[in-house]
Structure 1
Amino acid sequence: MPLKDLPKQAQPREKLLARGPGALSDAELLALLLRTGIQGKGVLQLAQELLAPPASGGLGGIAGLLHAGAAELARIKGLGPAKRAELLAVLELARRALAQQLQERPALDSPQAVRTYLQLHLAHKGHEVFGALFLDSQHRLIAFEALFRGTLTQTSVYPREVVLHALQHQASALVLAHNHPSGNVTPSSADQALTHTLRAALALIDVRVLDHVIVAPGATLSMAEQGLL
């Protein structure tokens, strides 16, 4: 059913203005962004199908939508260039808002913001990516860089390159991060060995490794919290 055929008080825009965004379902919020459906399918139905589990052809809820890249969105029937651009813009705004938060306050004061930020950058990747949050002396974000890209099972990380990037950013501390496309965030023995190697290399230039965060769609693990640093 087209949104205009719904009772006025049930239409997502009017409902949001009257009761606030928290009153809307995920599909209703997404329908507001999409604005129009496609031939034979109203926008609310399109939104519901987009949020359906992957087994049903959807993206797996809001988290799946936010972690979807441009190529994945392009495969969804009904998402033309304009709709894809709007969704990608919302995702980028979320990244920038979190980056601003981490630039204004110590990363260690907002661990959930760190995890969400890394999720938005890395969790949707179909290959392993190793990166780092470079932090100043107050542990505020200077920059995030994806430093190395690997296969689904292995990433080559060169400590010398990490040290060089830390020097270029004049960083005082780092949060290391990489993704596990398999979905399992349990650190491998290789992950632990790499972390200790990087800690030792960065200690030579007086840069601390505060954490190593492993991310996957819908999951994160802090090696510091697990006592593995």
Structure 2
Amino acid sequence: MTYSLRIADIPTSERPRERLMAFGPQSLSTAELIAILLGTGQGAGKLSSVGLGQYILKELSQCEEDPLSVMRNVGVGELTKIHGVGPAKATTIIAAIELGKRVFLSKPPELTVIDSPQAAANALSHNLMWQTQERFAILLMDVKNRLLGTKLLTIGTATETLAHPREIFREVLKHNATRLIIAHNHPSGNVEPSHQDIELTRQLLEGGQFLSLPILDHLILGNGDYGSIRQMTKLWEEYPQGE
């Protein structure tokens, strides 16, 4: 496959690397960011790296409207099926995607105060945000809402997970935590709670009342977004947690 525009034909001031240095990475398109990873790619009959970046995005969007959603979980085998992408280029792209995930999902340090749903989502993202299967996790905190640790409890199928109140409170007691936040992910990216999510939250709030272990929130995470069941429902008014 050929592409009419090559890196050598682009004015220096308009080349991806130069534009990134001059204006920052936000000024570049996704194809241009991929181009920087792939190098110049000059040569007769070859795509420029920008052209190859555009071609990769086009190929990845065959079954999805947004190729970035495909790239989040793409594998070497899928990328090397694209003309012009060998193992070296494929592993470079995947390494960059993984690094981006880790930067975005980096956990806060121990004893960070969890004082908002956003802070809780940041602490839980490493375990939950981009996963393709449902997972259930908890944040363990002390009486001052300082983070003692996170615990991934269960991993389910692509559409469901299992979490029993007994298992959750056992972990809280084992780690001498005095309050907690529960969370799970929706691989679909829809962070609206299901009927099952509401019922599980209700059971856990009742248990929290009985054991004097306040549950501060139940979060749903997925594809860069999160939702707070506490903010979306009146369950905490029905089952006060004595915070």
TM-score normalised by the chain length of structure 2: 0.71
Looking at structure 2, the residues matched to 50 and 143 of structure 1 have their Cα atoms a distance apart, in angstroms, of 40
Structure 2 unmatched ranges of 5 or more: 236-243
After TM superposition, the structure 1 = structure 2 runs for residues 75-224 of structure 1, keeping only pairs within 5 Å, are: 75-77=78-80, 78=85, 79-96=89-106, 99-100=107-108, 103=110, 105-109=112-116, 111-115=117-121, 118=124, 121-217=127-223, 219-224=225-230
Question: Would the alpha carbon gap of residues 128 and 136 (structure 1) be closer, same or farther in structure 2, given more than 3 Å must change?
Answer: same
Larger Rg: 2
Structure 1 unmatched ranges of 5 or more: none
Once the two structures are superposed, residues 30-80 of structure 1 have per-residue CA deviations (whole angstroms, 9 ceiling, x without a partner) of 433444669944332343455569643568355664xx23xx232223352
Alpha carbon RMSD of aligned pairs, Å?
3.4
Task: Give the total of aligned pairs.
Answer: 221
Looking at structure 1, the residues matched to 126 and 208 of structure 2 have their Cα atoms a distance apart, in angstroms, of 26
Once structures 1 and 2 are overlaid, which stretch shifts more, 113-122 or 159-168? 113-122
Looking at structure 2, the residues matched to 215 and 82 of structure 1 have their Cα atoms a distance apart, in angstroms, of 28
Contact 2:127–2:137, Cα closer than 8 Å, also in 1: no
After TM superposition, the structure 1 = structure 2 runs for residues 60-75 of structure 1, keeping only pairs within 5 Å, are: 60=66, 65=71, 68-69=72-73, 72-74=74-76, 75=78
3-state secondary structure, aligned to 2:105 = helix
3-state secondary structure, aligned to 1:45 = helix
Looking at structure 2, the residues matched to 3 and 192 of structure 1 have their Cα atoms a distance apart, in angstroms, of 54
Contact 2:124–2:139, Cα closer than 8 Å, also in 1: no
1:22 paired with 2:22, answer: no
3-state secondary structure, aligned to 2:177 = coil
Looking at structure 1, the residues matched to 68 and 111 of structure 2 have their Cα atoms a distance apart, in angstroms, of 27
State the percentage of identical aligned residues: 31
3-state secondary structure, aligned to 2:161 = coil
Paired AA for residue 95 in structure 1: L
Looking at structure 1, the residues matched to 161 and 102 of structure 2 have their Cα atoms a distance apart, in angstroms, of 26
Alpha-carbon shift at residue 95 of structure 1 (Å): 1.6
Question: Would the alpha carbon gap of residues 158 and 18 (structure 1) be closer, same or farther in structure 2, given more than 3 Å must change?
Answer: same
